[in-house]
Amino acid sequence: MGSDACTKACPEQALGIVNGKAYLVNPTVCIGHGACAATCPVEAITLVFGTERRGIDIPYVKPTFETNVSGIYIAGELGGMGLIRKATEQGCQAMEAIAGHRADGGRFDVVIVGAGPAGLSATLGAMAHQLRFVTLEQEESFGGTVYHYPPR
């Protein structure tokens, strides 16, 4: 089936129509948010993280990085994107979406779990939007993957 719905839904332009069918024409720009899978009329797209032989299911996220659980947003490695540059972009983009949904009363507007590239970017985004937030990190130092790079 040569539906153009998925190619039009991909804001990264990772998909294209080749010989009447949708193909992954630029895989390096795919950030795994699943807009293509959500619009595919025949459910032909499955997002996985890993390798062609051994895929790992990744969570469903909207283009805003909100999951199928309302109010829960994920970015970076948890969402299947381990590239540092893309993870930082996602953290910032998630805060753009969250900024319009402030909490009532004295509660936090957002709790940021993890201080890797996406979490640090989300923290800066929360500061820029003057959100009430807390950033949680299980390690002794911030940085996540970056702090432990290169692997030894």
For 21-74, what is each residue's pLDDT tens digit? 888 898 878 776 677 877 888 877 776 655 555 556 677 788 888 988 999 999
Which pTM value belongs to this model?
A: 0.64
- Same domain, residue pair 86 and 152: yes
85 located within any domain? yes
65 located within any domain? no
Q: Which of 68, 65, 69 is nearest to 78 (CA)?
A: 65
Q: Which of 127, 120, 131, 128 is nearest to 98 (CA)?
A: 131
Q: Report the domain count for the chain.
A: 2
* Residue-number span of the structural domain to which 28 is assigned: 1-58
- Same domain, residue pair 87 and 52: no
- For the domain that residue 12 is a member of, what is the CATH number? 3.30.70.20
94 located within any domain? yes
CA distance 61 to 130: 25
72 located within any domain? no
